[in-house]
Amino acid sequence: MNLKELVTGKLSRAGILCGIAAAFLLPPKAIAIPFGLLVLALVAGGLYLKSRWVESEPNEWMIVLRNGKLAKSGIGLRSLVFPNETVVKFPSAIQRVEFSAKNVTREMQGV
């Protein structure tokens, strides 16, 4: 490829093929740095999303509040929670407590 072909934009097939071959024969550092940065960005993004993923157990209620208003609620809920959202979890089991007592007065009368 000479200067005239470069200026006029008339490249031969051989020039185009040489350019493509040069792209694949770049030094490893020129390829490794952008590829490494891409992998690092994907890992960081995945870790961020994993830290925002919230699940409740099958026996727990989960309530998601967005700006003070109810966004989602349910038992065993799974959700991606963003920074402006609040999550509250509590047990969903209903406990029924019954008791009986026999109280007597001074006159031994049952109350």
| pLDDT tens-digit series, residues 1-41 | 555 555 455 556 666 666 666 666 666 666 777 888 888 99
- Name the helix (H) or strand (E) containing 86: strand 85-91
pLDDT tens for each residue of 64-89: 999 889 999 999 899 999 888 999 99
Give burial (CB, 10 Å; 0-12/13-18/19+) of 62: buried
Of 98 and 18, the one with more pLDDT: 98
Q: Are residues 16 and 45 in the same domain?
A: yes
Q: Are residues 5 and 32 in the same domain?
A: yes
Query: Based on the structure, what is the number of domains in the chain?
Result: 2
Q: Could you give phi then psi for residue 80, rounded to 5 degrees?
A: -95, 120
**DSSP codes, 39-68:** HHHHHHHHHHHHHHEEE--TTEEEEEEETT
Q: What is the predicted pLDDT for the residue at 13?
A: 63
Q: What is the predicted pLDDT for the residue at 7?
A: 45
Q: What is the predicted pLDDT for the residue at 34?
A: 80
Residue 106 · residue 98 · CB < 8 Å: no
Q: Are residues 44 and 82 in the same domain?
A: no
Residue 43 · residue 26 · CB < 8 Å: no
- Full domain range(s) for residue 86: 56-111
